[in-house]
Amino acid sequence: MSSIEVIGGEQLKGELKIQGSKNAALPIIAATVLNKGATILKNCPKILDVLHMIKILEELGCKTKWEGNTLFVDSSVITSPSVSEESVRKMRSSILYLGALLGRCHEVTIAYPGGCSIGKRPIDYHLNAMAKMNVTEEFLKEGEIIHCSTNEIIGNDIFLEFPSVGATQNVILAAALSKGITRIFNAAREPEVTELCNYLQEAGAKISGKGTAYLQVEGVKELHDVTFTLMPDRIVAGTYLTAIAATYGDAILTDFPAWALDSVIRVLKKTGCRIENFENNVRVYCKKRLQPIELIKTQPYPGFPTDMQSQMMTVLCLADGESTIMEEIFESRYQNVKELRKMGAKIRLEASDNKAILTGVKKLHGAVVTSHDLRGGAALAVAGLAAEGKTIVQGATSIERGYEDICRDLSALGANIRYCSENAS
């Protein structure tokens, strides 16, 4: 497990290109098994979660290779439609092979994904939807393993009680090669769901309603080879916005998906940051003390994204007044609070309604802190940039799940940040 050492105090300046999107890459890598041929994915981030999804592709019998950030997949042959327990335990997103393998092979054996530090993260919506599409589900090994099978996936009306990103994606994946039409009501509208639809349409799928809460997928006989360029990662982009804001910097971010970050940009502008768009780039700078935000509630897209909650908490810990955050998506996504308190942050939790009340301080001070999840870890690195002195973020491997190289990127903006050994302090 690696750690990150940050020496705070540098105002971030310069220019940085945003990497490709993790949360678009993962479902699209699963989707490649629907095509008995080749897929070329450009702008694919080389991150642990992507490497993990590729490992599963190879376990399934596919061939892959990298050229820079271009991933080549040959999914002509699937030798065994099963995803190992170890693979699913390591990464919850492996569950996206459920819909993809049912679509390709009409069967799949896959372990039940466990929860993680941010919540239990069940898959009932996924399984209920598959059952409505003529799929039989057997629970093996005391509910640890699921074996699903069908002689034909039949399209149906799917009503999601919550606009779950993963459940929406699994239904799309199962419906792409099905018989008939699947209509998804209360579908997730996240840009990464739309990106999956973009990829599948390029490969020959028939999908309508992209970006809305009502999607329609008409099954086709087969998909064909496709070359696809992934969108930039909106959460990595948002993270770097907060790093520039927290250090009162002035920098340019290129290949920046402003269109997918409207709620985050709106909140940052309310803190007093200036954010100027030009083509695919933004200039962000903050010259005066950050201002508090009365209330931020995390919501499904297009609301404020839960994946930006920890990073925004870091920024508001420095604001001139009291701010309130309500985490509405996951039941335990305040792991950073105890870590930020070690750095001098003033945060009160009202667990009853998942509320964090922040009283801003002028300065944080360095400390040894622990990353509990990918976004929380990134938010602690941002806190270290704004703090006086040295911060060590332990358990930084979790950050590498979603950030190609956070030290490389932030150093390019002048940050004093580097990886160091785990027991550094």
For residue 41, what are the β-bridge partners?
A: 71, 228
Nearer to ligand EPZ, 5 or 192 (CB): 192
For residue 16, what are the β-bridge partners?
A: 253
CB of 359 to ligand EPZ, least distance (A): 27
Per CB under 6 A, the segment of 20-28, 204-212, 252-260, 382-390 that binds ligand EPZ is 20-28
Q: Is 114 in the site for ligand EPZ (CB under 6 A)?
A: no
Per CB under 6 A, the segment of 40-48, 113-121, 196-204, 377-385 that binds ligand EPZ is 113-121
* Pairwise CA distance, residues 273 & 267, whole Å: 9
Q: Are strands 416-420 and 3-7 parallel, antiparallel or unpaired?
A: antiparallel
CB of 353 to ligand EPZ, least distance (A): 16
Per CB under 6 A, the segment of 7-15, 22-30, 54-62, 316-324 that binds ligand EPZ is 22-30
Contact residues for 180 (Cβ-Cβ < 8 A; gap 6+): 154, 155, 156, 218, 219
* Pairwise CA distance, residues 399 & 380, whole Å: 10
- Residue 112, Cα to own-chain centre: how many angstroms? 20
Other Cβ atoms less than 10 A from the Cβ of 161: the count is: 10
286 is catalytic: no
* Pairwise CA distance, residues 59 & 39, whole Å: 17
Nearer to ligand EPZ, 193 or 413 (CB): 193
Length of the chain equals: 425
Query: 195, 233, 307, 339: which one contacts ligand EPZ (CB under 6 A)?
Result: 307
Per CB under 6 A, the segment of 123-131, 213-221, 241-249, 259-267 that binds ligand EPZ is 123-131
Per CB under 6 A, the segment of 103-111, 142-150, 165-173, 177-185 that binds ligand EPZ is 165-173
Query: 39, 87, 247, 306: which one contacts ligand EPZ (CB under 6 A)?
Result: 306
CB of 322 to ligand EPZ, least distance (A): 26
| Identity of the residue numbered 140 | L
Q: Is 264 in the site for ligand EPZ (CB under 6 A)?
A: no
* Pairwise CA distance, residues 325 & 352, whole Å: 13
Here the tokens at position 363 are 């300065």
Select the residue whose beta carbon is closest to ligand EPZ and give its number. Answer: 166
Angle among Cα 40, 45, 50 to the nearest 5 degrees reads 85
Q: Prior bond to 302 cis, omega within 30?
A: yes
Nearer to ligand EPZ, 150 or 186 (CB): 186
Residues 25-84 that bind ligand EPZ (CB under 6 A): 26
Q: Is 234 in the site for ligand EPZ (CB under 6 A)?
A: no
Query: 57, 62, 165, 378: which one contacts ligand EPZ (CB under 6 A)?
Result: 165
> What share of residues in the chain are helix, strand, coil (percent, to 5)?
35, 30, 40
Nearest to 92 by CA among 5, 187, 166: 166
Here the tokens at position 310 are 């920890």
* Pairwise CA distance, residues 217 & 238, whole Å: 31
Q: Is 237 in the site for ligand EPZ (CB under 6 A)?
A: no
* Pairwise CA distance, residues 369 & 61, whole Å: 41
Q: Is 121 in the site for ligand EPZ (CB under 6 A)?
A: yes
Nearer to ligand EPZ, 165 or 407 (CB): 165
DSSP 8-state secondary structure symbol assigned to residue 292: P
CB of 63 to ligand EPZ, least distance (A): 24
Query: 15, 124, 144, 276: which one contacts ligand EPZ (CB under 6 A)?
Result: 124
Query: 166, 366, 376, 377: which one contacts ligand EPZ (CB under 6 A)?
Result: 166
Q: Are strands 214-218 and 13-17 parallel, antiparallel or unpaired?
A: unpaired
* Site map 390..419 versus ligand EPZ, x via CB under 6 A: ------------x-----------------
Q: If residue 289 lies in a helix (H) or strand (E), which one and from where to where?
A: none
Query: What SS3 state is found at 238?
Result: helix
Nearer to ligand EPZ, 166 or 384 (CB): 166
Q: Which of 116, 197, 273, 420 is catalytic?
A: 116
Enumerate binding residues for ligand EPZ (CB under 6 A). Answer: 22-23, 26, 93, 119-126, 162, 164-167, 188, 192, 306-307, 329-330, 374-375, 402
Residues marked as catalytic:
116
